Amino acid sequence: MHSQMYTQVIHGDIKPANILLDDNFNAKISDFGISRFVNTDVTLFTEHVIGSIGYMDPLFARNGRLTSKSDVYSFGIVLVELITKKKATIRNGEMGIVECFTQALAAGKRKVRELFDVEISSQNNMKVLEGVAKLAGQCLKMEMDRRPEMKDVAERLWALRKTQVQGKQGPTIFPWGWRNKPAAQNSWQSSDIHVPQSLPSNLCRHFSLREMKSETRNFDESHLTGVGGSCKVYYEMIDGGATKVAIKRSRVEQ
């Protein structure tokens, strides 16, 4: 999305609610309602700062500067939630988990360990948890240039997952493990990863505006399933009920 597309896509709203899992626990990013297409050598500045409280990059909120590193920051918060089992949102004036986490990082490894979810913080898991914590801390750096690229984040998570599987550790922070994966994939190395230079044309099914209007009876309210700040979502069954389709329509288009 950041580096393997002809035009860079910045999601702009990375959070747990927008990370879905399929039947094999493969992660899928959803809700591109506020995403941006950006030339890779240009930084985007915008006056329309939109995102989710608790997950938005503070640099984007402060000056409207949006880059792929804004998504990296948000994903760092997701990692913090994963290892602490605490929500990022702040309630009743309490200190948020992100602030607690960054203070613990500054105080040292022992303080960070105190924040780990007790259900997964066994001694066998500690190396992996500390690795995820270190990675999250780098994603949350306020100096944008010091944050890793998302592809580097993914590679390091794969390496940590390999460490956990080889050590037969548990309870696990990667509950999907290697289930339903061919045995050959267990010997992961960075050289084994094949990243296509372009996406296959049949990866996603494309619908014309005419088809979408036809299926929803010109966006009839009876098909409306959700309303957001900048869009409406319509739901329909097509292909004789075999395929479920959600159509997001920007309010600007209406």
CA-CA distance, 110 to 87, in Å (whole number)? Answer: 21
CA-CA distance, 241 to 228, in Å (whole number)? Answer: 26
Active site residue 13: yes
- Which amino acid type is present at position 240? G
Whether residue 149 is found in the same domain as residue 29: yes
Show the CA angle centred on residue 83, arms to residues 70 and 72, nearest 5°. Answer: 10
Does residue 249 register a pLDDT over 60?
Answer: yes
Residue 2 lies in a domain: no
The SS3 call for residue 123 is: helix
Is the distance from CB of 139 to CB of 151 less than 8 angstroms? no
Whether residue 35 is found in the same domain as residue 141: yes
Does residue 185 register a pLDDT over 70?
Answer: no
Residue 88 lies in a domain: yes
Give the range of the structural domain holding residue 229, as residue numbers without chain letter. Answer: 209-253
The residue that leads in pLDDT, 157 or 202, is 157
Residue 203 lies in a domain: no
- Which one is catalytic: 13, 31, 57, 71? 13
CA-CA distance, 18 to 14, in Å (whole number)? Answer: 6
> Residue 158: in which H helix or E strand, if any?
helix 150-166
Does residue 199 register a pLDDT over 80?
Answer: no
Whether residue 126 is found in the same domain as residue 246: no
